[in-house]
């Protein structure tokens, strides 16, 4: 956890819990319309892949969000992880 008591939340977790599960979407359901490899979407929802700008745009178009939403999730996650690594310094 960081100073605000929250653990870093990966964008893939948000994608899965806030979008895919409520909409009943599978990895394939998201990979097809975004034209993004299914294996990459799978890695993302398993929190094993970072969101890049291109994927942020594709998710935004398909999920009616903004690219900034996805990029901000990624940068917040990265920053919180870095803060945790440096907390003991």
The per-residue pLDDT for 89 is: 66
Q: How many CA atoms lie within 13 A of 61 on its CB side?
A: 11
Is 70 within 8 Å of 60 (Cβ atoms)? yes
The per-residue pLDDT for 2 is: 43
d(CA 85, CA 79): 10
Separation in Å, CA 74 to CA 32, 33, 55, 60, 79: 23, 22, 12, 14, 9
d(CA 55, CA 6): 26
pTM comes to 0.90
The per-residue pLDDT for 88 is: 66
The pLDDT averaged over each successive group of 10 residues in the chain (89 residues) is 73 98 97 96 98 98 98 97 85
């Amino acid at each position: 956890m960081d100073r605000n008591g929250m653990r870093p939340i990966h964008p893939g977790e948000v994608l899965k819990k806030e979008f895919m599960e409520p909409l009943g979407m599978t990895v394939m359901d998201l990979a097809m319309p975004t034209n993004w490899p299914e294996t990459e979407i799978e890695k993302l929802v398993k929190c094993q892949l970072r969101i890049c700008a291109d994927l942020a745009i594709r998710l935004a178009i398909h999920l009616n969000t903004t690219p900034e939403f996805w990029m901000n999730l990624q940068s917040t996650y990265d920053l919180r992880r870095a803060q945790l690594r440096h907390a003991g310094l």
